[in-house]
Amino acid sequence: MTEQLVNVHDLVGRCPFATSQKLLAGKWSLLIMHELAEGPVRFRELERRLHPITQATLTRALRQLEDDGLVHREVYGTIPPKVEYSLTEVGAGFKTVLASLETWGNQYIDYMKAAGRM
């Protein structure tokens, strides 16, 4: 029997883990989703909160999350222009995942401290 290698990209849209991994693959994706979980945030405020992220990196990450349907970009017709980012309905469903990640992350931090690794 020959074993066929499966390309992870072929599983996107069929496997929930591969799909989630693809959506959150960016270095900043989780942190951006975390910052938007509490409500709309303006670009400069996001940039400040995520320091040392660069403007170009934040723009690229937000565009990808917007293209994936997780983030909504609202442009207000003011001078100077005001742009706010928020989670879409499907993006807001990620809040429970963020809460679970926070719980697990804190448990792991405790483990690392107890093991003398921090």
Number of domains the chain is built from: 1
Query: Is 19 within the bounds of a domain?
Result: no
Query: Is 47 within the bounds of a domain?
Result: yes
Decide if pLDDT at 16 tops 80: yes
Residue with tokens 């107890």: 114
What CATH number is attached to the domain comprising 69?
1.10.10.10
Domain hosting residue 85, numbered range: 28-114
Query: Is 86 within the bounds of a domain?
Result: yes
Nearest to 93 by CA among 15, 25, 16: 16
Query: Is 77 within the bounds of a domain?
Result: yes
Residue 8 has a pLDDT of 65
Query: Is 14 within the bounds of a domain?
Result: no
Contacts of 63 (CB under 8 A, 6+ apart): none
Mean per-residue pLDDT for 21-39? 94
pTM of the model: 0.86
Decide if pLDDT at 2 tops 60: no
